[in-house]
A and B are shown apart, each in its own frame.
Chain A
Amino acid sequence: MSPRQTGANVARGGRQQLDVRGLLCPLPVIRTQERVESLSTGTLLDILATDPGVLQDIPAWCRVHGHGLVATARDDTCIRITIEVCET
């Protein structure tokens, strides 16, 4: 399953934020999975994290579940990963 590189589509499902700063993998992945279960297709989810492991694990989780990886960004204090909930 290859990742779906998608563009922002705020109108379809809105945009939400998940703060998993301070949690170590795999907890950020688990919290993402739990949140995505309640979101509708097209929703963008901004995940804020501190464990660099999320840079590998959340894209991998998106790939196996068919969700879209929209963007990743990192500064000194925080990692932000945006995913799009897709029909799976």
Chain B
Amino acid sequence: MKKAIALISGGLDSMLAAKVVQEQGVHVEGLNFYTGFCVEGHTHAIRKKRQVKPRRNNALWVAEQLGIKLHIIDVAEEYKDIVLNPKHGYGQNLNPCLDCKIFMVDRARTWGVAERDFDFIVTGEVIGQRPKSQRKETMPLIARESGADDLLLRPLCARNLAPTRPEREGWVDRDALYGFHGRNRKPQMALAESFGFSDYAQPAGGCCFLTDAQYASKLADLWDARGARDYELDDIMLLKVGRHIRPARHYKLIVGREEGENRYLEGYRNRFLHLRTAGFPGPLALIDGAPGPRDVTLAARILARYSRGRTLPRVDVSAHHVNGVVELLNVEPLPPTELPAAWHV
């Protein structure tokens, strides 16, 4: 029996692609990459309002539906180079979709074909589905630059492409593959129905935070403020959380917006100067950067503006320095008119 390794994002297309190959008697296992920018998981855990929804990892859920093993690989560190130096550039925001796809297919090839006994690689790509990475001219480029060459099978659009080795050698029947193209989702939905799949994830903006304009803006701000295009995993995690307010280039506040975010930020408080309101509930604010005393007072006024004491003339705020010193401040909450929109990252 031939063996295929399928990239599983948790969305419908990769689920269908794996299923189509499975239906041809091929043994399929799934591969899912953790880049640090995945919408999966973290956001569900952080934001309280999302916790009312059933929490699930869609890639694992897809694997269960298909009855296949799913291997989740942490590529966050090596993925940095893709984000920072994309050979093929960015999409609409900071999404290096084409380089990302090449990287993932390459990793699937290495992990599955070179290091294990898988015969070919399966993806859910559809020509015309995505403006940056899924175009007629990018399909051969991805195959070539990933090193997968003709071991890369796209079952959903294979009939629009030259036959790959799995097709030529009869490992799969090309006639039982598909010729989907464009952004129309109806063919995929019909195929899902034919397989009896009624519940599947339909991520509107993709599965990556880098496609999100607001997130990309925060990442660009981080690079600008630090004077270097680099990041650590904690940096990109914190960009997913809270209001980011930058009164000056040398520091910014990260203010929790609700209980779940405050709880998440608590995990970082020992590594940052952080502020809390005293005497009544309020958000937690981390200060990233190197603020001076006046900056800390302004940050306290901003925090007070987001606390329940926002209408009071003065509010007590405690500033907890990284060296353990706690400074007590009594400040006037900053009126909304004095908080420029440009400070919101």
Contact = CB atoms under 8 A, between A and B. Distances in A.
Contacts of A47: none
B132 to A, nearest CB: 25
Interface string B45-56: 110000100111
Chain B contact surface mostly: mixed
Interface stretch (B60-68, B168-176, B182-190, B282-290): B60-68
B71 interface: yes
A49 to B, nearest CB: 11
Interface in B15-58: 32, 34, 38, 40-42, 44-46, 51, 54-57
A27 B75 CA distance: 11
A14 interface: no
Contacts of A60: 56-57, 60-61, 63-64
Nearest to B40: A26
Interface in A30-82: 30, 33, 51-53, 56-57, 60-61, 63-65
A64 B68 contact: yes
From B60, B61, B64, residue with most partner A Cβ within 10 Å: B60
A57 B45 contact: no
Contact of B64 (A29, A30, A52, A64): A64
Given A52-B55, A56-B55, A64-B69, A25 B44 contact: yes
Contacts of B56: 56-57, 60
Contact of B38 (A26, A33, A57, A64): A26
B52 to A, nearest CB: 13
Nearest to A21: B267
Nearest to B66: A64
Interface residues of B, number: 28
Nearest to A88: B69
Given A30-B74, A52-B55, A24 B61 contact: no
B339 interface: no
A11 B252 CA distance: 54
B68 A26 contact: no
Contact of B73 (A1, A30, A64): A30
Given A53-B41, A64-B63, A26 B57 contact: yes
Contacts of B153: none
B72 interface: yes
Interface residues of A, number: 20
B69 A24 contact: no
A7 interface: no
A64 B54 CA distance: 19
A33 to B, nearest CB: 6
Contact of A27 (B34, B46, B71): B34
Interface of A: 1, 22, 24-27, 29-30, 33, 51-53, 56-57, 60-61, 63-65, 88
Interface of B: 32, 34, 38, 40-42, 44-46, 51, 54-57, 60-61, 63-64, 67-74, 237, 267
Given A27-B41, A30-B72, 20 more contacts: A1-B64, A24-B42, A24-B46, A26-B40, A26-B41, A26-B57, A29-B72, A33-B71, A51-B45, A53-B45, A56-B55, A57-B56, A57-B57, A60-B56, A60-B60, A60-B61, A60-B64, A64-B63, A64-B68, A65-B69
29 contacts: A24-B41, A24-B237, A25-B40, A25-B41, A25-B42, A25-B45, A29-B57, A29-B60, A30-B34, A30-B73, A33-B71, A33-B72, A52-B45, A52-B51, A53-B41, A53-B45, A53-B55, A53-B57, A56-B56, A57-B41, A57-B56, A57-B60, A60-B56, A60-B57, A60-B61, A60-B63, A60-B64, A61-B60, A64-B63
